[in-house]
Amino acid sequence: MITVSNVDKRYGDFQALTDVSLDIPTGSLTALLGPSGSGKSTLLRVIAGLERPDAGSVVLEDKDVTHVPPQERGVGFVFQHYAAFKHMSVRDNVAFGLKIRKRPKAEIEEKVDELLGVVGLAGYQKRYPSQLSGGQRQRMALARALAVEPKVLLLDEPFGALDAKVRAELRAWLRRLHEEVHVTTVLVTHDQEEAMDVTDRIAVMSDGRIEQVGPPRELYDRPETPFVMSFLGEVSQLGERVVRPHDLELSDGPREDAVEAQVTRVAHLGFQVRVELTLHDGTDLTAQITRHEAQALELRSGDIVWVRPTSASAFAPEDLAGATAPAAPSAPSA
Ligand SMILES: Nc1ncnc2c1ncn2[C@@H]1O[C@H](COP(=O)(O)OP(=O)(O)OP(=O)(O)O)[C@@H](O)[C@H]1O
């Protein structure tokens, strides 16, 4: 277990972390999720020992490490821009930590081969970092961090610099890796999809505080604050209710509880169809329906439809006013 208790961290006048407490179970893959500047990296650096908190403590596996230097904490890190040793082969990069710990040569070779297999880079031993793709370099970085068998693996936006497709591949790969290796892992990300997809627990951060901690589904289905609701998925406002786009139902005629709306855009995203709508009072909302539903309704821009919620959150629209949601992903137009 990693136990962070009542941590405060200031940079000059700026309060980066305020009374942060968080338990990270051994063997879990936990995300620190929040917008830019919410304090995720600062918290990760406090856990790593790269920043010293002004107040509070960090306990790793029953040992208070608040005043222990990073190299003695048994943590491995990978950052967004991983600094590989350019003049060293992949093999030597991964072996680095073991060499400085003066492990026997045969043990190093065996360990490096095993890890390169685990990260899918068997056969790349002799290459140099410049001869790898961005995704391969980050996998090498993970192999290097894992080589010294850390108790905790700390990842700060490790796939942040890569394109969307490679990111998605590496996400799936990281989850499989975690199932194999089971090292307690903390992943910093501002990408809610990445956090929901990869991790088993998410700590949502805002303004240097923890808003809510729990499994992804629980945060999505039962957000405790308006911030968590809007950060973990898109929300639309329909009258007095706040709903998720997939909690809206469309019909081509009037129905109980349904209001009239005009379709302004229909975007096909594979199986899902995003329908942008405008109500009589001028408010815009987005519905997410299946391709079959869209086909059955023969939806086209300009159509009049009736929209009603299938479920609604506990938050009134005014609660959400102060919460900053991430931008909706842009979608190709139909
Ligand atoms: N060394 C520093 N000196 C002064 N201010 C800092 C320092 N490091 C971080 N901060 C400030 O602390 C706040 C939190 O930074 P942090 O990097 O933890 O946020 P983050 O949630 O990881 O954001 P991002 O996703 O943009 O990295 C920011 O407003 C940042 O400007």
pLDDT in tens, the chain (334 residues): 999 999 999 999 999 999 999 999 999 999 999 999 999 999 999 999 999 999 999 999 999 999 999 989 999 998 877 677 889 999 999 999 899 889 999 999 999 999 898 888 999 999 999 999 888 998 899 899 989 889 999 999 988 878 888 888 888 888 988 998 889 999 999 999 999 989 999 999 999 999 999 999 999 988 998 899 989 988 888 877 888 898 899 999 999 989 999 999 999 988 899 999 999 999 999 999 999 999 999 999 999 999 998 876 667 767 766 555 444 444 444 3
Q: How far is the CA of 60 from the centre of ligand 1 (A)?
A: 23
Q: What pTM, to 2 d.p., does this model score?
A: 0.83
HSE on the CB side for 165, CA within 13 Å? Answer: 0
Ligand 1 near 42 CB (within 6 A): yes
Task: From the CA of 208, give the closest atom in ligand 1.
Answer: 14
Task: From the CA of 51, give the closest atom in ligand 1.
Answer: 1
Q: How far is the CA of 37 from the centre of ligand 1 (A)?
A: 5
Ligand 1 near 41 CB (within 6 A): yes
What are the structural domains of the chain?
A: 2-227 (3.40.50.300), 236-320 (2.40.50.100)
Ligand 1 near 34 CB (within 6 A): yes
Q: Give the amino acid at 260.
A: E
Q: Concatenated DSSP letters for 213-236?
A: EE-HHHHHHS-SSHHHHHHTS--E
Could you tell which of 9, 11, 18, 227 is best to mutate to test the pocket of ligand 1, judged by most ligand atoms within 8 Å of the CB? 11
Q: Concatenated DSSP letters for 172-198?
A: HHHHHHHHHH--EEEEEES-HHHHHHH
Q: What residues are paired with 78 via a beta bridge? A: 155
Ligand 1 near 13 CB (within 6 A): no
Q: Concatenated DSSP letters for 123-147?
A: T-TT--GGGS-HHHHHHHHHHHHHH
Alpha carbon distance 158, 195 (integer Å): 13
In terms of residues, how long is the chain?
334
Q: What is the pLDDT of residues 142-186, one digit of tens each?
A: 899 989 889 999 999 988 878 888 888 888 888 988 998 889 999
Residue nearest to atom 18 of ligand 1 (CA): 39
- Structure tokens of 222? 């039962």
- Structure tokens of 231? 């950060």
Alpha carbon distance 266, 158 (integer Å): 34
Residue nearest to atom 24 of ligand 1 (CA): 36
Could you tell which of 8, 15, 33, 41 is best to mutate to test the pocket of ligand 1, judged by most ligand atoms within 8 Å of the CB? 41
- Structure tokens of 128? 């140099």
With contact defined as beta carbons under 8 Å apart, do 212 and 33 qualify?
no
Q: What is the pLDDT of residues 121-150, one digit of tens each?
A: 999 999 999 999 888 998 899 899 989 889
Cα–chain-centroid distance for residue 21?
Answer: 19
Q: Give the amino acid at 32.
A: L
HSE on the CB side for 161, CA within 13 Å? Answer: 13
Alpha carbon distance 225, 218 (integer Å): 13
Backbone region of residue 208 per phi and psi (left: phi > 0; alpha: psi in -120 to 50; beta: other values): left
Q: How far is the CA of 13 from the centre of ligand 1 (A)?
A: 13
The ipTM estimated for the assembled molecules is 0.93
Closest by Cα among 59, 74, 66, 68 to 23: 59
With contact defined as beta carbons under 8 Å apart, do 48 and 73 qualify?
yes
Alpha carbon distance 97, 219 (integer Å): 38
Burial class of 12 by CB neighbour count within 10 A (0 to 12, 13 to 18, 19+): exposed
Closest by Cα among 133, 190, 200, 140 to 160: 190
Ligand 1 near 201 CB (within 6 A): no
